[in-house]
Amino acid sequence: MDTIEIQHEDDLLIIGDVARAIEENEFEPYVQPCFDLVAKRPMLAETLARWTFPEDGTVIPAAAFIPALERTNTVCGLDWFIIDSMCAYLGEQLKTLMVPPVALNISDQHVDDENFTKRLSATVDWRGVDPVFVSVEFGLDLLARDERMAKVLIPSLLDAGFSVVVDKFNATPEALIPLMHMGVVTIKVSTALWRDSPIANLRAFTRAANELGIALIAEGVETADELKMLRHEGFLFAQGYYLARPMCLEEYVKLCSNRIYGNMGRLSV
């Protein structure tokens, strides 16, 4: 048996394990908050999937199963489980607490689904959620390599009332203009851009975004010095382990309702 065959066999085993784990509720949605640095509160929650073995509480890292699901084109099933779980969470919480919108962090493979927007609309409608509370997050690289994003998927999402977040942004200020014309108003800025760019370039970038009305979220903030620099250079929003690690929905609700504060004090840096 050659390497490709062995990998295929391993992938099939992982697919079976994931399907069983979904059925047995071993997966649960987690979120990592993005923070408004001025209001000092969460402004968006990026969705993640956490797989925990019930026997001993072992957390299975995403790198152990997501690549297999991507290779076998089965990752969308897990995405829809998380999407429905997040919409159910929103439907319940919005009855009593004004929680921030969520950003659905989904696979690139959904671009091939002509009914993605219709299915997402049906899901939020069934859960009693206004689409204004739901964003769909895609990487800039996907926009660059698949023209259907700009021509079909993004327009359909915006027409249905959803918003779009572009993450892993690492490009020149000129690249913001077509995104603005598409209707994208929120961008997550890669650490490779804000951490490694000369200050003059970073200032030009934040100035261009402000002029276009685009909100910039600095990804991957890990230290107080980084947060201080970002605030000084005009960033109003940030995400990263320095501010908050991924958390379960129960912890996130407490954070949003101010019953716990965690690292919120660090927003004052």
Q: H helices within 59-114, ranges in order?
A: 66-71, 75-93
User: Is residue 68 one of the residues assigned to a domain?
Assistant: no
Q: Which pLDDT tens digit goes with each residue over 66-118? A: 888 888 888 889 999 999 999 999 999 988 888 899 999 999 899 889 999 99
| pLDDT at res. 261 | 47
Q: Is residue 21 part of a domain?
A: no
- pLDDT over 70, % of the chain: 92
- CA-CA distance, 164 to 130, in Å (whole number)? 15
Q: Is residue 67 part of a domain?
A: no
For the chain, what is the mean pLDDT?
A: 88
Pairing relation of β-strands 247-248 and 27-36? Answer: antiparallel
Q: What band does 6 get if pLDDT is binned at 50, 70 and 90?
A: very low
pLDDT at 8 (0 to 100): 53
Q: Please report whether residue 166 resides in a domain.
A: yes
Q: Where are the alpha helices (DSSP H) in the chain?
A: 3-23, 66-71, 75-93, 116-126, 140-145, 148, 154-159, 176-182, 191-194, 199-212, 224-232, 249-256
The alpha carbon of 66 is separated from its chain's Cα centroid by a whole number of angstroms, namely: 15
Q: What is the CATH number of the domain that holds 42?
A: 3.20.20.450
pLDDT in tens, 153-181: 999 999 999 999 999 999 989 999 999 99
Residue-wise pLDDT for 168-227, tens only, equals 999 989 999 999 999 999 999 999 999 998 999 999 999 999 999 999 999 999 999 999
237-253 residue pLDDT tens: 999 999 999 999 999 98
Q: Domains in the chain: how many in total? A: 1
Under the banding of pLDDT at 50, 70 and 90, the label for residue 47 is very high
pLDDT at 265: 62
Q: For residue 258, give its domain range.
A: 27-57+75-268
Helix axes 116-126, 75-93, angle to 10 degrees: 30
Residue 8 is assigned to a structural domain of this protein: no
In a domain? residue 38: yes
- Residue 116 included in any domain: yes
In a domain, 17, yes or no: no
Q: Name the pTM for this structure.
A: 0.89
